[in-house]
């Protein structure tokens, strides 16, 4: 193996050390040792609002939707590419009876030029909805952290945070192991990457 291949494989290993199940399990377990109620208020608020605003803005961005559509169409096995494939260029489409016919209706570009305000409201509404879901999810996570600890204390578990850390670390490690395994499609037996 030459020097360039060694360098590539070494950098690939160095960049993916955090995907190791042991690293994920230990990291999650260590972070679960600190109760969320002990975080400073500014950190808790940042942990709730930053992802909510960031993902809400991403969903509202037309560039994000365009890149998602392009990446879905770039994959040949994508249902979006299969559905949009023959009609993408506006050429004639084969009808079920065998005759060729032109697609009816306006193209997507024409529709987007006619309704920019409606599309903007739709994207903004989607962004607000996603942001609200992310914010509520983070609030729920903080509440659950305290509720699980209180429940373990009521059950007289001697070290509830340690039990929570071991359980969270084990769950994270198991999830990392399952994600690394190739999955088979239920019907065809093809591997899903």
* Other CB atoms within 10 Å distance of the CB of residue 58: 14
- Reported confidence tier of residue 88, pLDDT bands at 50, 70, 90: very low
Highest mean pLDDT among 14-28, 94-108, 168-182: 168-182
**CA–CA distances in Å: residue 129 to residues 47, 55, 112, 118, 134:** 18, 10, 22, 16, 9
pTM of the complete model beyond 0.85: no
Which pLDDT score is estimated for 89?
A: 47
Identify the burial level of 114 via C-beta atoms within 10 angstroms of its C-beta, where 0-12 means exposed, 13-18 middle and 19 or more buried.
Answer: exposed
Mean pLDDT of 82-103: 51
- Reported confidence tier of residue 90, pLDDT bands at 50, 70, 90: very low
**CA quadruple 17, 20, 26, 29: dihedral sign:** positive
Which pLDDT score is estimated for 107?
A: 58
Which pLDDT score is estimated for 106?
A: 53
Write phi, then psi, for 186 (nearest 5 degrees): -60, -35
Mean pLDDT of 20-41: 90
Which token pair is 108? 């997507």
Q: Angle at which helices 116-154 and 160-180 pack, to 10 degrees? A: 130
Mean pLDDT of 11-39: 82
- Reported confidence tier of residue 95, pLDDT bands at 50, 70, 90: low
Taking the CA atoms of residue 13, residue 18, residue 24 and residue 26 in that order, the dihedral angle to the nearest 10 degrees is: 90
pLDDT of 148 strictly over 90:
yes
């Amino acid at each position: 193996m030459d020097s360039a291949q060694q360098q590539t494989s070494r950098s690939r290993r160095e960049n993916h050390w955090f995907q190791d199940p042991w690293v994920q399990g230990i990291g999650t377990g260590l972070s679960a040792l600190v109760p969320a109620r002990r975080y400073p208020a500014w950190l808790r608020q940042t942990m709730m609002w930053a992802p909510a605003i960031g993902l809400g803005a991403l969903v509202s961005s037309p560039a994000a939707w365009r890149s998602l559509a392009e990446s879905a169409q770039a994959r040949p096995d994508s249902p979006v590419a299969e559905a949009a494939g023959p009609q993408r260029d506006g050429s004639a489409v084969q009808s079920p009876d065998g005759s060729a016919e032109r697609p009816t209706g306006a193209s997507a570009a024409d529709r987007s030029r006619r309704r920019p305000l409606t599309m903007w409201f739709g994207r903004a509404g989607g962004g607000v909805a996603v942001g609200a879901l992310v914010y509520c999810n983070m609030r729920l996570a903080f509440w659950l952290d305290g509720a699980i600890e209180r429940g373990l204390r009521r059950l007289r578990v001697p070290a509830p945070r340690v039990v929570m850390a071991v359980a969270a670390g084990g769950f994270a490690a198991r999830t990392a192991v399952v994600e690394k395994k190739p999955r088979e499609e239920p019907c065809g037996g093809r591997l899903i990457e």
